Structure 1
Amino acid sequence: MKSYLDLEVYKLSLELFFATHKFSLGLPKHEKYELGSQIRRSADSVNSNIVEGYGRRRYKKDFIRFLTFSYASNLETINHLRKIAKLYPDRKAEAVKLYYQYDELGKRLYSFTKYVSTNWKTTTD
């Protein structure tokens, strides 16, 4: 693995960020700056913490810490999607689709964090 760009959790989180960003812009105008802003920030945090953690991969505990932040932001994003699905029935189908994709990402993040915890070797590059 030469870069965070090679990580499957990174690739999926970036795809989901773009989908979530677009989805959030379709919310009612008053919600774009409330719940819409929150979901955009949490989706961005999922992705950005993977990148920042990888940047600290020489320090296994830091890498795990940032993967944990990413996982927590993933849960936050799922929670926002649940709220949107309930508040805006016309957006429910798309919110539920994203919900399941983030649920899958959460499983992958959990597994990757566990892998790093048990198998990661610090590098000197």
Structure 2
Amino acid sequence: MNRFKNLVVWQQALSLSVEVYRLTEKFPKKEVYGLASQMQRAGVSVPSNIAEGAARNHDGEFYHFLGIACGSAAELYTQTMIARELEYITREQSDKITGELDHIMNRIFKLQEQLETKNKKRPTRS
């Protein structure tokens, strides 16, 4: 039921989402409902979709939700670069976030590959 709690990628994504919240708290007030909010939502979406997919009883659904999580990670990556260009965050901060996102996305891809391999090995029913 709670197999997502044991997934390292979920743990890393959860930690990153908290980091994003802390970082965006320092954004200008005009961004509260703009870029800050978008980054927070994308950041929360990554571990949330990993958890939702893992809680499903079907590998196909898990695979699908991993794809959504990866899409949210890519959104957050882009938004982080925008925040850097606007000088809301430093190069060091953006490099840290994007480095973590690269790592998370790679783990998601590997998990998807494992699901594909696992399902190819299953005998088909006739």
- TM-score, normalised with respect to structure 1: 0.88
Q: Quick one: structure 1 residues 63 and 23, their matched pair in 2 at CA, closer, same or farther if it must change by over 3 Å? A: same
d(CA) in 2 for partners of 1:44, 1:2: 18
Match of 1:29 in 2: 29
Which structure 1 residue ranges, 5 or more long, are not aligned? none
**One-letter code aligned to 2:115:** V
Q: 1:105, 1:85 → 2: CA distance?
A: 20
Percent sequence identity over aligned pairs: 26
1:16-65 per-residue CA deviation (whole Å, 9 max, x = no partner) reads 01001111111111112200000000011101000100111x21111100
Matching residue of 1:82: 81
- Give the AA of the match of 1:54: A
For residue 16 of structure 1, what is the amino acid of its counterpart? Answer: L
Aligned to 1:92: 91
Query: Residues 3 and 86 of structure 1: is their aligned pair in 2 closer, same or farther, counting only changes over 3 Å?
Result: same
- Conserved? CA contact 2:17–2:44, under 8 Å: yes
Q: Sort the Cα spacing of 1:15 and 1:119 in 2 relative to 1 into closer, same or farther, 3 A.
A: same
Which residue identity does 1:34 align to in structure 2?
G
Q: Does 2:49 align with 1:49?
A: yes
Question: Match for residue 19 of structure 1?
Answer: 19
- How far did 1:2 drift? 6.1
RMSD of aligned Cα (Å): 2.0
Task: Detail structure 1 runs of 4+ shifted over 2 Å in the superposition.
Answer: 89-93
Question: Max radius of gyration: which structure?
Answer: 2
Deviations 1:97-124 (A, max 9, x none): 11111111111111111112212699xx
- The Cα of 1:96 is off from its aligned counterpart by 2.1
3-state DSSP of counterpart to 1:109: helix
- Cα shift at 1:89: 5.9
Show the counterpart of 2:118.
Answer: 119
Displacement of 1:4 in angstroms is 0.9
